[in-house]
């Protein structure tokens, strides 16, 4: 285990973006930024630790391009750990305290969380195994940053064993259910252009296999003019996905009916007031369709992405192709779909979808 530097200065090599002088004057203090990131009140942190937390937040947003959900979860999880560590050590958390945390400290933290629970996982049973695994993953991500950005190495975090999790198989809709959802979602909205928008979004999820964050992150300039489209996925990774005629037609119908100006550098999908569209209206629309059609509770926007992969595999798509289309970094993430459907049919893409 390395000894931390005697003094952590702001210009320590940082994997995050550099700020020019014009940004420094109006930049919020490290303490204020750390407080906003960690969420539930700032723990007792030294100024140097506040600076490290702020830089990690900047790194996640600007360099890793993590989703808002991921950044929020990381901040909440690490904030809980820092609050625990301050109480555990009886003093403010310094870089030296972060390095000095041993395996007993991390085990005590997880035991504390299991007893108290956290967020939606808080119950009579305490912390669920999946939530415990997420906490541990957040801490490991934080410590990886500390090692790379400031030379603060902690070997103990790697030695902590996480809980064993049950194998979770995706729950896609069948082709009939997916088609019915796409056919019905437009009728759930009272405003015609909102109906066209919702149809365009869910058609992208099913027809291109996008994550909802990827679909809502598209800019007006990203509208496909050909048979392919560039998508920015997790960690800023780019991929090219084929675009079926049904997808282009749905987007075109939305663009024609949308009453708001859509500048090329602005969001493609907007809310009723013209601001960027968040996931909640899409989730609510799918929920309404689910209730109307009697679809299972697993019928969510993300289930359409699962359906894309499962139906493509059923119609002859190979795992490598599906891996590229989904933007999975690891083939093992794609192999879970073989548990859902291993039938081998002839076509690879166009014939995978009834609406192609």
Question: Mean of the pLDDT values across residues 203-223?
Answer: 90
Cα–Cα distance measured from residue 300 to residue 284, given in angstroms and rounded to the nearest whole number: 9
Would residue 337 show up in a list of annotated catalytic residues for this protein? yes
**Structure token pair of residue 293:** 């059609």
Cα–Cα distance measured from residue 181 to residue 292, given in angstroms and rounded to the nearest whole number: 10
Domain, as residue range, for 185: 175-352
Q: Is residue 1 part of a domain?
A: no
pLDDT of 154 reads 95
Would residue 211 show up in a list of annotated catalytic residues for this protein? yes
Residue 282 shares a structural domain with residue 139: no
Question: Is pLDDT at 118 greater than 80 in this prediction?
Answer: no
Residue 36 shares a structural domain with residue 132: yes
**Structure token pair of residue 228:** 């392919």
Mean residue pLDDT across the chain: 79
Cα–Cα distance measured from residue 227 to residue 132, given in angstroms and rounded to the nearest whole number: 43
Last-in-domain residue among 109, 125, 159: 159
Radius of gyration, CA atoms only, the chain? 23
Model confidence pLDDT, tens digit, residues 323-353: 666 766 554 555 555 554 443 333 444 555 5
Close Cβ partners of 156 (under 8 Å, ≥ 6 residues apart): 1, 101, 102, 103, 105, 106
Q: Is residue 11 part of a domain?
A: no
- Nearest CA to 326 out of 189, 210, 199 is that of 210
Residue 217 shares a structural domain with residue 112: no
Cα–Cα distance measured from residue 91 to residue 332, given in angstroms and rounded to the nearest whole number: 43
Annotated catalytic residue within 55, 290, 305, 315: 305
Q: Is residue 76 part of a domain?
A: yes
Residue 126 shares a structural domain with residue 209: no
Model confidence pLDDT, tens digit, residues 35-58: 667 765 567 899 999 999 999 999
pLDDT of 197 reads 97
Q: Is residue 8 part of a domain?
A: no
pLDDT band, residue 176 (cuts 50/70/90): confident
Q: Is residue 14 part of a domain?
A: no
Q: Helical H runs in 167-269? A: 175-184, 192-208, 212-216, 245-257
Residue 180 shares a structural domain with residue 134: no
Question: Is pLDDT at 233 greater than 70 in this prediction?
Answer: yes
pLDDT band, residue 19 (cuts 50/70/90): very low
**Structure token pair of residue 102:** 């041993």
Neighbours of 128 (CB within 10 A): 18
Question: In this structure, what is the dihedral angle of CA atoms 328, 331, 337, 341, given to the nearest 10 degrees?
Answer: 130
pLDDT band, residue 225 (cuts 50/70/90): confident
The enclosing domain of 219 has a CATH number of 1.10.443.10
Would residue 2 show up in a list of annotated catalytic residues for this protein? no
Q: Is residue 15 part of a domain?
A: no
Provide the 8-state DSSP code for 61.
I
Question: Is pLDDT at 14 greater than 60 in this prediction?
Answer: no
Question: Mean of the pLDDT values across residues 177-191?
Answer: 92
CA 172 to chain centre: 19
Cα–Cα distance measured from residue 220 to residue 200, given in angstroms and rounded to the nearest whole number: 13
pLDDT band, residue 164 (cuts 50/70/90): confident
pLDDT of 70 reads 86
The model's pTM: 0.57
- Nearest CA to 56 out of 101, 10, 106, 16 is that of 16
Residue 119 shares a structural domain with residue 225: no
Annotated catalytic residue within 58, 220, 234, 355: 234
Would residue 167 show up in a list of annotated catalytic residues for this protein? no
Neighbours of 203 (CB within 10 A): 25
Helix pair angle (103-116, 68-89), 10° resolution: 110
Burial, 15: exposed, middle or buried (Cβ in 10 Å; 0-12, 13-18, 19+)?
middle
Residue 199 shares a structural domain with residue 70: no
Domain count, the chain: 2
Residue 155 shares a structural domain with residue 190: no
Please tell me which residue, 328 or 105, carries the higher pLDDT value: 105
Residue 133 shares a structural domain with residue 193: no
Q: Is residue 7 part of a domain?
A: no
Annotated catalytic residue within 134, 290, 306, 328: 328
Would residue 148 show up in a list of annotated catalytic residues for this protein? no
Q: Helical H runs in 59-94? A: 68-89
Cα–Cα distance measured from residue 190 to residue 313, given in angstroms and rounded to the nearest whole number: 36
Last-in-domain residue among 131, 159, 187: 159
pLDDT of 328 reads 60
Annotated catalytic residue within 211, 248, 290, 311: 211
Q: Is residue 167 part of a domain?
A: no
Last-in-domain residue among 159, 191, 218: 159
Annotated catalytic residue within 302, 306, 311, 315: 302
pLDDT of 97 reads 96
**Structure token pair of residue 84:** 């625990």
Would residue 134 show up in a list of annotated catalytic residues for this protein? no
**Structure token pair of residue 123:** 């119950």
pLDDT band, residue 87 (cuts 50/70/90): very high
pLDDT of 65 reads 76
Residue 198 shares a structural domain with residue 314: yes
Question: Mean of the pLDDT values across residues 268-274?
Answer: 95
Cα angle: 111, vertex 113, 118; to 5 degrees: 160
Residue 306 shares a structural domain with residue 331: yes
Are 82 and 37 in contact by the 8 Å Cβ rule? The answer is no
Residue 223 shares a structural domain with residue 112: no
């Amino acid at each position: 285990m390395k000894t931390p530097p005697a003094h952590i200065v702001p210009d320590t090599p940082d994997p995050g973006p550099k700020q020019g002088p014009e940004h420094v004057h109006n930049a919020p203090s490290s303490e204020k930024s750390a407080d906003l990131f960690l969420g539930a009140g700032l723990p007792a942190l030294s100024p140097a630790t506040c600076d490290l937390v702020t830089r990690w937040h900047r790194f996640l947003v600007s360099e890793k391009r993590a989703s808002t959900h991921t950044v929020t979860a990381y901040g909440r999880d690490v904030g809980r750990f820092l609050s625990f560590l301050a109480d555990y050590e009886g003093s403010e958390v310094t870089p030296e305290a972060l390095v000095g945390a041993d395996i007993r400290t991390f085990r005590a933290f997880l035991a504390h969380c299991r007893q108290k629970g956290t967020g939606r996982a808080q119950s009579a049973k305490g912390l669920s195994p999946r939530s415990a695994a997420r906490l541990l993953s957040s801490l490991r991500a934080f410590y990886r940053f500390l090692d790379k950005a400031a030379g603060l190495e902690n070997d103990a975090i790697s030695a902590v064993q996480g809980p064993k999790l049950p194998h979770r198989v995706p729950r896609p809709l069948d082709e009939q259910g997916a088609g019915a959802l796409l056919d019905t979602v437009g009728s759930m909205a009272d405003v015609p252009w909102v109906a066209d928008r919702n149809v365009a979004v869910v058609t992208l999820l099913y027809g291109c296999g996008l994550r909802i964050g990827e679909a809502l992150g598209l800019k007006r300039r990203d509208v496909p003019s050909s048979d392919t489209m560039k998508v920015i996925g997790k960690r800023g990774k780019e991929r090219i996905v084929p675009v079926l005629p049904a997808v282009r037609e749905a987007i075109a119908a939305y663009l024609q009916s949308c009453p708001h100006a859509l500048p090329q550098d602005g969001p493609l999908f907007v809310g009723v007031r013209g601001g960027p569209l968040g996931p909640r209206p899409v989730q609510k629309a799918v929920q309404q369709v689910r209730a109307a059609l009697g679809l299972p509770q697993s019928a969510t926007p993300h289930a359409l992405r699962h359906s894309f992969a499962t139906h493509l595999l059923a119609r002859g798509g190979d795992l490598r192709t599906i891996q590229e289309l989904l933007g999975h970094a690891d083939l093992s993430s794609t192999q879970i779909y073989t548990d859902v459907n291993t039938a081998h049919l002839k076509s690879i893409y166009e014939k995978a979808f009834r609406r192609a």
